[in-house]
Structure 1
Amino acid sequence: MRTADMQALGNVAAEGLTVLNNLIRGMHSGIAGRVFASIGPAAKPVETVHDAIAGTVYDLLGAAAHRLPPVLSSFAAAGLAFDDDAALDEHPRLAEFLAALDGIYGDELAERGSPLAPPMTLRVSGRPVPLTPDAVRAAYPRPTDAIAVFVHGLCQTESSWQRAPRPSAHTDDRSYGERLHTDLGFTPVDLRYNTGLHISTNGRQLDETLTRLLEVWPVPVRRIALIGHSMGGLVIRSACHYGHEQNRRWVRATRQVICLGSPHLGADLEKGVNVATWAMARLGETRSIAELLNLRSDGIKDLRFGALLDDDWAESDPDEFLRDRCREVPFLPTATYHFVATSAAPRYLGAVLGDHLVRPSSASGRGRRRNVPFRAESGLTLTGLHHFDLLSHPDIYVRLREWLTAT
């Protein structure tokens, strides 16, 4: 673990304690204010004393929360030996923790230049692959002219694609990428990115990453398949839009775009949080809870309606009440687009509950006001699976192989 990472963790801990202190303070203030208001003017002297004592206590707690964790982390960093070559995000367990942290708070960390919010990178065995000819050649010693790029979802890393499938008599424990390499000759390329950033920001970064990758890939690239899970599918569609505007070579080589459980029309959970915070902000007792929930990242808020472009969120209030500003984003003319939707319950109940995070109507892009132009024959809808089963399932792999064999 690097010294800079240790200090950054201390700063995050301080931020968390400060937010917690403000949350409790706000709730205390709201409840006390309503009680004193119900008593009337007779309670004013007691209210004045109460507010003075409570304010002093919370100020002291806030100062301690702000200063103590960074001091302790700096002391630990100075007193312990760290391997400066081993980044925090290269340790599997810690990488998963950081991915969750970035998904929730990664936009703020990136804005502050924190090492806990690293840029988008290719990864092999958890380690970043610099986009240089030598590094790429070493990371992919047997490159092919067909590449399958895997883009994970919110609060995840590329290791999510290694998820063990449900037990089955015919289960193959290998990942989709490994099987596509064996069966169809695709070289799997895994990506890691900060899911707390705007989807359009990550889309632009993916465009730049793929542009550079083709420049340094050891052999000419004939064909690209882009496969995204959940938010990853939206990031891919955003990258395709920006790459098409620039007439990128990787866009012209892209033949398939496959979205596994992606909320093209938005995610109900984020819509629900938006409604809840809007309501709680109107009560003094719960206003601080609304302020806390509104600290969730730009990436999460983009999932409310599936915002793919800068114009979908620029110059607007990110916490406005259920307003869909999203523009339709055309498909690439050279690629075939596919979706996989699933529900964890039978047909009618599953249409409402979806896979616990994304409903089939959103994953397939079929809404009352907006429609994503997936062809019905280009999709797959399953039942009895939850959102993360999409990362590794034999039925889905069979369809992936069919789609990637078709052209």
Structure 2
Amino acid sequence: MSGIYIHIPFCKQACHYCDFHFSTSMKKKDEMVLAIAKELQMRKKEFQNDPEFSGVETIYFGGGTPSVLTTEEIEFLIAEVYNHYRVVENPEITLEANPDDLSSERIVELSKSRINRLSIGIQSFFEDDLVMMNRAHNSAEAQKCLAEATKYFDNISLDLIYGIPGMSNEKWKQNIETALSFGIPHISSYALTVEPKTALNKLIQTGKIAKPNDESAQEHFSILVETLEANDFIHYELSNFGKANYFSKNNSAYWLGKKYLGIGPSAHSYDGIFRSWNISNNSLYLKSIQEDILPNEIEVLSTADRYNEYVMTGLRTIWGVSLDRIETEFGSEYLEYLQKQAQKYLDDDLLSIDNNILKPTPKGKFLTDGIASDLFFINLE
């Protein structure tokens, strides 16, 4: 077992680009904490019956905005994990947090808890970007929280968004340089994407905000990779950069196909054969848990599903896609199909094969997801 993901479905306000499951009403927060604790208890046998389970290696609080919970509530949920599961000696325990929740006092509180890694949603150090995205914090709060957090936490990640309409290359470079100035050992960076049911999509459709430009996003991505690699960051996953020994253990486990348990509304779980996901509705989740019913759906992954997931995650990481593993785990038919589909990308220098590992070239990195989708097996089972 790799880890436990705990989804906290609350936010102070809705960011314009976000399509994750959350509520801006905190009325049911206390009930939700107790329900999440109960789901942890209800599902403990899933690991006890797994002969490969050697202990929980990571606990990750995501959302939503997990930092809206009090430190006491966070510690209570961590204690519930320890009460019902075997946990390795030094697990990675991450809290996603927003700058407006990280006052100096709160950071000190968290440093005394079992949380040993912070993932801070900065997104941008510029006020106009934060207003456009409807973030709850301002630029001053972003910089102040990082200055304080680095005094108490060694393992910190921050998020930055590129491809924002109107953002110049110079402005993007300033964002990266500001992040680097705090000595942060891990940076996650994503292109601004327009999801169908978001406020951002509506603002673009009504002409209030310009549509993100793919060419600008690709330029920003190239600047990001070049700048971070020049500062000793390892580009270990398409959107993630870490210094040596600071890769996210939680996220790396997802990409390497390890098993994980997702707790809370909308959370997903994976055990290598089955994938399940909880209902994305707070009220229905609470009602179901109170009635001792797990509110999830389960899907049996076909060979093609597992192949597709491995290709997608493998191409996004420095570990690539092992052609030997493709043949051993999925069979010669899949290997032949992959080689046939990949040939045009090999010819165009977008993919390369070294030591029987298929990877994107520097030229192909930005196009990884599109390339991966073209390598998928479709409707073979």
- TM-score above 0.5, yes or no: no
**Which structure has the bigger radius of gyration?**
1
Greater share of strand: 2
Larger helix fraction of residues: 1
